[in-house]
Amino acid sequence: MAKVLILYYSSYGHIETMAAAVAEGVRQTGASVDVKRVPELVPDTVARKSDYKTDQQAPVATVAELADYDAIILGTPTRFGNMASQMKNFLDQTGGLWFEDKLVGKVGSVFTSTGSQHGGQETTIKSTQTVLFHLGMIIVGLPYSFKRQMRMDQITGCSPYGASTLADDGNGGDRQPSENELAGARFQGRHVAEIALALATGRQAKAA
């Protein structure tokens, strides 16, 4: 049995919705999955004034527990082409795990959300992957075997780097993840879990 953690930050709920879809994909493999979020840094009064989604049910993760999982799938919205400060703040606290090689050989993957078609989906995922490389993780994206990322008949997120969604309809309105984007998230969750299961099985066989 492989253990997968979906660790996300979501201001308005788009990444929260994508995280649920990723978890669906993980469960399809029989792997164990936990969905948790990183702590909010914005004061509660500011968050409410900015209409942040403050009723998220996922428990808040701790840095130490990352070492308990075989795979970690990160979800973060884009902030100027990079991960949100809440996610970066959390990852910046993994120095102790890095020093002890606690995350070396574990599977890492990333999904994201942007406010426009060209708002930094790929740069956000790739810059987040850089942190995972430094932690010694095995990086997994969203392969082209998920053919629906090549659709041209609709506006859609997703790339070979990871699943993604567009949170704006182009007119300042709120756009929720499409079924195509959710399908990409489910595919990524399943793909990561399958690789984590294969690695766990191989390590168990080697140890036997």
Q: Is 134 annotated as a binding residue?
A: yes
Q: Is 145 annotated as a binding residue?
A: no
Q: Is 8 annotated as a binding residue?
A: no
Q: Is 79 annotated as a binding residue?
A: yes
Q: Is 21 exposed, middle or buried (0-12, 13-18, 19+ CB in 10 A)?
A: buried
Q: Is 203 annotated as a binding residue?
A: no
Beta bridge partners of 122: none
Instruction: Indicate the helix (H) or strand (E) that contains 7.
Output: strand 3-8
Question: Pick from 105, 64, 101: which is nearest to 195 by CA?
Answer: 105
- Kindly state the DSSP code that residue 8 receives in the 8-state scheme: E
Q: Is 15 annotated as a binding residue?
A: yes
Rounded Cα distance between 33 and 26, Å, is 7
DSSP 57-119: -SPBP-SGGGGG-SEEEEEEEEETTEE-HHHHHHHTTTHHHHHTTTTTT-EEEEEEEESSTTS
Q: Is 144 annotated as a binding residue?
A: no
Q: Is 12 annotated as a binding residue?
A: yes
Q: Is 78 annotated as a binding residue?
A: yes
Enter the tokens of residue 76.
Answer: 């973060």
Known binding-site residues equal: 10-15, 78-80, 98, 134
Known binding-site residues for FMN equal: 10-15, 78-80, 134
Known binding-site residues for substrate equal: 98
